[in-house]
Structure 1
Amino acid sequence: MPENVLKLAQRLEQARKPFVLATVVWCERPTSAKPGARALIQADGSVSGWIGGSCAQPVVVREALRLLHEGGDPYLLRLGAPEAGLTRTGSGVRVFPMTCSSGGILDIYMEPHLPPPRLFLVGASPVVAALARLAPVLDFAVVQIDEDGLPDMQPDERSAVLVATHGEYDEEAVARALRSPAWYVGMVGSRRRAEACRQYLREAGLEEQAIARLRAPAGLDLGAVTPEEIAASILAELVQVRRRQPAQAPVVSAASPATAVDPVCGMIVEVAAARQRSTYQGQIFYFCCPACKRLFENDPQRYLAPKAHATYER
């Protein structure tokens, strides 16, 4: 199974599709998953592999989808009973106490894999040639576009576009880029040329809010002269914009399903998919597994007091 999961991961990376690889790195029995168990969670919530039963898997899937939506670094996810010593400290530990009857503790390494941002380079100028050499060092996936390929250019929210056509088809390329969700649109040219391009965009019907996204002349003012120096100034601006705009990270756009908190273990349960539910004093409660439902029905008041469900230690 792990080998199949890794093969799937390779295919998804080649297709530029995001996923989270979850790996059990430590456990305290009894647990159904053992160290080395691995699962791959895709953006649609589908799971390949094995990471634990009805108590563990929903938390892992929900945390994976959160990672894909918000972005973030890998971290350790700890699951287990509150009395089992869930007091581990350290950087990047996210703790979820659970009271499922099986007991045990799981430490799961959550590793997001997001496709690298694409940098569309439009034109065939020396600056474009320099960027094509330098940008991969900063983990940009370079896509070079000429005039014939312009109709097929489709930047997404993880894409940047740099136009440098020496005035041949700047306006058409910039207009197409500004109509996309690309997080950066820049154009190489003089200030006079940039203003002429903006005027063209206004006459073409683009709104001022869209035109304001254009960075022209592209690049930070470093006093650059040579094509390589101009390329370096553009890369510096790309890094600056990327680091200051965390909103570019989300890759899951579907609306989140309605959820409820299991009053016994504190897990988040998807209401539509919950098979375990119980009604008490006119209110419906949802559970991750039959054990939690049984514990609740034996003594509802014990589990209705407010409680903290998760902690995140940085």
Structure 2
Amino acid sequence: MSVLTRVDDLRSGRTPFVLATVVRAERPTSARPGDRAVVLPDGSVEGFVGGTCAESTVRTLCLRLLATGESTLLRITPTADSETVAEGVVTVGNPCLSGGSLDIFLETVLPPVLVHVHGDGPVARALVDVGRAIGHDVREASPTPPHDLAVLVVASHGRDEEPLLTAALRAEVPYVGLIASRRRGQAVLAALPVTDAQRARVHTPAGLDIGARTPAEVALSVYAQVIAEHVRAHEPAPPRTAVDPVCGMAVTIDESTASVVDDGTTRYFCGPGCRRTYTDDPKRHRA
């Protein structure tokens, strides 16, 4: 399967990823302009953007980008002393390279915000229309919230409210809103079989107070609140990292990371080369 075909599959499956594309390669490097790879939230890399050391650098930065949603140009060069960020370029020193440099564009691709709306009245229909107009993935609410659900808005005027609100709160959906008057909303919340802390997370009346009157204005106030609170699906936990004791690079710790246990401490490496260098003379590289 080609990388671009894999990209299409990931998009359709609502899987976050970073598309890494080599845009410049200075010899001697194993990568060539146009080489591509995708990096997934679990740290796995599919495709090719360079050798083991370059791939380690790409993985570490991509996992950071997945948490922020940003994209950047990554420059890997053996001449830089430390990581620097300037004008959209992250420069990382990599003494393991065989003399060349790599420029790799890292494009972070996050799925649209997933919104569930329950109800079939004017406000519910406006929530669907406005949400889709601003680029959200708006669908009918389901009894079991998907893992990446970011927003649930119940606008059914008393129909099947409690089960959906309860399921969303227990699943820790980031934004839960109920379209209701203040009095009725508080009555609905009081009947929910959840903790006080969970109950306090429900926005009711949902939306910012902008004096909304029409269904479209109410929908706009809800999405304004979602945007103001920077609501996204659950963000991945930041990756565990360590410093390679041989080359000084930051490396991501996962099942594929090269490592050795020395003197009761696990040391992690950008690749097998640095691990061999360390095991040949551990005392020289111990901090």
Number of matched pairs: 287
CA 1:36–1:194: 2 relative to 1, 3 Å:
same
Aligned twin of 1:232: 220
- Measure the CA separation in 1 of the matches of 2:13 and 2:103: 30
Partner of 1:288: 270
Deviation of the 1:235 alpha carbon: 1.4
Show the counterpart of 2:62. 64
1:235 and 1:271 map into 2 onto residues whose CA distance is 37
Aligned mates of 1:271, 1:171 — CA distance in 2: 41
* Aligned: 1:78 with 2:72: no
Residue 127 of structure 2 is matched in structure 1 by 131
Report if aligned partners of 1:156, 1:181 keep a CA contact under 8 Å in 2: no
- The change in CA–CA distance for 1:282 and 1:127 in structure 2 (over 3 A counts) is closer
Provide closer, same or farther for how the CA distance between residues 34 and 190 of structure 1 changes in structure 2, counting only shifts above 3 A: same
Report the counterpart of residue 152 of structure 2 in structure 1: 161
Amino acid at match of 2:47: G
The letter for the 2-side match of 1:78 is: R
Give the match for residue 55 of structure 1.
53
Q: How many Å separate the matches in 2 of 1:258 and 1:104?
A: 25
Q: Is the 8 A contact 1:260 1:268 kept in 2?
A: yes
**Aligned 8 A contact 1:296 1:303 in 2:** yes
Q: Which residue of 1 aligns with 2:165?
A: 174
Structure 1 residue 283: Cα displacement: 7.0
- The partner residue of 1:35 within 33, 36, 40 is 33
Question: Is the aligned partner of 1:266 residue 2:249?
Answer: yes
Letter of the 1:93 partner, please give it.
V
What is the aligned partner in structure 2 of residue 310 from structure 1? none
Q: CA 1:44/1:283 → structure 2, altered by over 3 Å: closer, same or farther?
A: closer
SS in 2 for 1:55: helix
What amino acid is aligned across from residue 121 of structure 2 in structure 1? S
The 1:14–1:24 alpha-carbon spacing in structure 2 relative to 1, beyond 3 Å, is: same
Q: 2:178 aligns with which of 182, 187, 195?
A: 187
Check the 8 A contact 1:80/1:86 in 2, yes or no: no
Which residue identity lines up with residue 270 of structure 2 in the other structure? C
CA contact (8 A) 1:20 1:64 kept: yes
Query: Deviation at 1:67?
Result: 2.5
Residue ranges of structure 2 left out of the alignment (5+ in a row): none
- 1:258-282 CA distance string (max 9 Å, x none): 7452422524264864557596x89
The CA distance in 2 between the partners of 1:191 and 1:277, in whole Å, is: 60
1:99 corresponds, among 88, 91, 95, to 95
SS of the equivalent of 1:6 reads helix
Indicate the SS of the match to 2:70. Answer: coil
The change in CA–CA distance for 1:144 and 1:86 in structure 2 (over 3 A counts) is: same
Instruction: Pick closer, same or farther for the CA change 1:158–1:105 going to 2, 3 Å.
Output: farther
- Against the structure 1 CA distance between its residues 131 and 55, is the aligned structure 2 distance closer, same or farther, given a 3 Å change threshold? same
Q: CA RMSD in A?
A: 3.1
Deviates more, 1:256-265 or 1:88-97: 256-265
1:189–1:217 contact (8 Å) kept in structure 2: yes
Unmatched segments (≥5 aa) in structure 1: 306-314
Question: How far apart, in 1, do the equivalents of 2:70 and 2:156 lie?
Answer: 37
Q: Give the letter aligned to residue 170 of structure 2.
A: R
- 8 Å CA contact 2:132–2:138 kept in 1: the answer is yes
For the Cα contact (< 8 Å) 1:82–1:97, is it kept in 2? yes
Give yes or no for contact 2:177–2:205 (8 Å, CA) kept in 1.
Answer: yes
Task: Look up the equivalent residue of 2:224 and give its one-letter code.
Answer: A
TM-score (norm 1): 0.79
Among residues 113, 118, 122, which one is paired with 1:117 in the alignment?
Answer: 113
The answer to which structure, 1 or 2, has the higher relative contact order (CA under 8 A, 6+ apart) is: 1
User: How many angstroms apart in 1 are the aligned matches of 2:133 and 2:254?
Assistant: 45
Change (3 A) 1:28 1:217: same
Q: Contact 1:81 / 1:105 at 8 angstroms: preserved in 2?
A: yes
Cα 1:186–1:262 change in 2 (3 A) is: same
Counterpart residue identity of residue 96, structure 1: V
Q: Report the counterpart of residue 42 of structure 2 in structure 1.
A: 44
| Cα offsets for 1:2-42 (capped at 9, x unmatched) | xx111110011101112110011112211111111111122
Q: Call closer, same or farther: CA 1:238–1:101 in 2, change over 3 Å.
A: closer
Instruction: Supply the AA of the counterpart residue of 2:135.
Output: D
